[in-house]
């Protein structure tokens, strides 16, 4: 049986963010993830986790100006100092929250920058971050994202992510495998996750089309969950989807797994 973490950025949007911890616990979740903790006091977040008996399993490194449309800066040659400062900030938060792994969003290819230069910047930044996180006892992840939802995003496929892991050469860098993004870009979900299983530290889900909960689209999640169990995936699966109605009304897919 897979272990599911509630993505608080996407789920329980009916309530203010700090109240989503209680909502997640009430809905039966034992763990949470979300995009960014940095708008909140780390001690308040840690207290919310403790108060509701929740584990935090993932958050992202700082990713530039999100509200302005930035989706990461790790491949931006002119923002290396900002990236490195963000690594330190992320480690500070993750340590306070007991969060064991951090995701690094590559960002969009900057205008006027050759892919080769962006690749070299991304690799160098990942080497720096992987070493810093290893010293802190944390894992570093990178996530391929589909080019339909985020045109211009630098990292799009599992094979590309694996090649970047090879170029970085760290034993502390892994793939975050998002089933929704992977379905949109490449399909072959079962075969791909099995091929790269040793390099995948975290999985996220949403159905396609629509990015809603499992059972609303084309992905055979009942099969995939059995497959993940069969091949020995033991990590968390983050529920990073947009509820079609309300979060609680849309949780029937989890209850049905036990039938």
Prediction pTM value = 0.97
- Cα distances (angstroms) measured from residue 123 to each of 116, 126, 181: 11, 5, 22
Do the beta carbons of residue 12 and residue 24 sit within 8 Å?
Answer: yes
pLDDT of the residue at 259 = 56
Confidence bin at 256 (pLDDT 50/70/90): confident
Structural domains of the chain in order of their starting residue, each with its CATH number = 3-257 (3.20.20.150)
Do the beta carbons of residue 160 and residue 119 sit within 8 Å?
Answer: no
pLDDT of the residue at 258 = 62
pLDDT digits (tens, 9 = 90+) for 35-48: 999 999 999 999 99
Distance in angstroms (rounded) separating the CA atoms of residues 73 and 67: 14
pLDDT digits (tens, 9 = 90+) for 76-134: 999 999 999 999 999 999 999 999 999 999 999 999 999 999 999 999 999 999 999 99
pLDDT of the residue at 255 = 82
pLDDT of the residue at 257 = 78
Q: Catalogue the active-site residues.
A: 143, 240
CA angle, 133 then 120 then 86, to 5°: 35
Among 181, 82, 180, 189, smallest CA distance to 128 is for 82
Distance in angstroms (rounded) separating the CA atoms of residues 9 and 240: 8
pLDDT digits (tens, 9 = 90+) for 138-196: 999 999 999 999 999 999 999 999 999 999 999 999 999 999 999 999 999 999 999 99
Distance in angstroms (rounded) separating the CA atoms of residues 199 and 177: 10
What is the Rg, in whole angstroms, of the alpha carbon atoms belonging to the chain? 17
Does 241 score more than 60 pLDDT? Answer: yes
Q: How many CA atoms lie within 13 A of 58 on its CB side?
A: 31
Neighbours of 223 (CB within 10 A): 11
Beta bridge partners of 108: 153
Distance in angstroms (rounded) separating the CA atoms of residues 94 and 133: 10
pLDDT of the residue at 69 = 95
Does 223 score more than 70 pLDDT? Answer: yes
Please give the average per-residue pLDDT across 238-245, as a whole number: 96
């Amino acid at each position: 049986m897979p272990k599911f973490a509630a993505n608080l950025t996407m789920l329980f949007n009916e309530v203010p963010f700090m109240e989503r911890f209680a909502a997640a616990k009430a809905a039966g979740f034992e763990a949470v993830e979300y995009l960014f903790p940095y708008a909140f006091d780390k001690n308040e977040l840690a207290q919310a986790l403790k108060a509701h008996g929740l584990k935090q399993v993932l958050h992202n490194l700082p990713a530039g100006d999100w509200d302005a449309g930035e989706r990461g800066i790790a491949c931006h040659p002119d923002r290396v100092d900002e990236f490195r400062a963000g690594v330190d900030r992320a480690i500070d938060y993750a340590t306070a929250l007991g969060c064991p792994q951090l995701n690094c969003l590559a960002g969009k290819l900057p205008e006027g920058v050759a892919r080769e230069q962006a690749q070299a910047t991304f690799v160098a930044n990942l080497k720096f971050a992987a070493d810093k996180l290893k010293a802190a006892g944390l894992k570093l992840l990178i996530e391929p994202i589909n080019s339909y939802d985020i045109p211009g995003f630098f990292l799009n496929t599992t094979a590309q992510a694996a090649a970047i892991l090879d170029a970085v050469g760290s034993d502390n860098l892994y793939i975050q495998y998002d089933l929704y993004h992977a379905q949109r870009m490449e399909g072959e979900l079962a075969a791909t996750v099995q091929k790269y299983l040793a390099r995948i530290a975290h999985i996220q889900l949403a159905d396609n089309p629509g990015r809603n909960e499992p059972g609303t689209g084309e992905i055979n999640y009942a099969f995939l969950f059995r497959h993940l169990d069969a091949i020995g995936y033991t990590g968390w699966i983050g529920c990073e989807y947009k509820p079609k109605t309300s979060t609680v009304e849309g949780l029937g897919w989890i209850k049905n797994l036990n039938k």
